[in-house]
Amino acid sequence: MMTETRHPDSPINPDLAAFLPDPAPQQPLIDLRDQPSPDILRLLAIGSPPVVNGCVITLYRLGYARPEEWSRQLPTVNPNEVMRILTKRMTLSERE
């Protein structure tokens, strides 16, 4: 009967690699850790690149936000899916 022995320098089982921490964590693509405030509103547009960009353009045409106010396209874990984030400061009169 043959048993498998692992050496400390042997590669990790690929099925388990997804559960292990990244050896060199990367900086976040966007930092959302600012102070919580009732005046801050964040909108997320998540979908395929054409759908997300269409949403950004539609909100621009409605006078809500200029395209350059949105983040760049950020990848998600799903293939062919991106997200863009809009952060706006709202005054109390705009919320009513």
Q: What string of pLDDT tens digits covers the 96 residues of the chain? A: 455 444 455 455 566 555 555 555 555 555 656 566 668 889 999 999 999 999 999 999 999 999 999 999 999 999 999 999 999 887 766 555
Range of the domain at 63: 36-95
Residue 31 placed within a domain: no
Exposure class string for 38-75: b at 16+ Cβ within 10 A, else e = eeeeeeebebeeeebbebbeebeeeeeeeeeebeeeee
Strand order in the sheet with 40-47: 40-47, 82-89, 74-75
What is the count of structural domains for the chain?
1
Residue 14 placed within a domain: no
Whether the model clears a pTM of 0.75, i.e. scores above it, the answer is no
Torsion of CA 7, 11, 12, 14, to 10 degrees: -150
Residue 23 placed within a domain: no
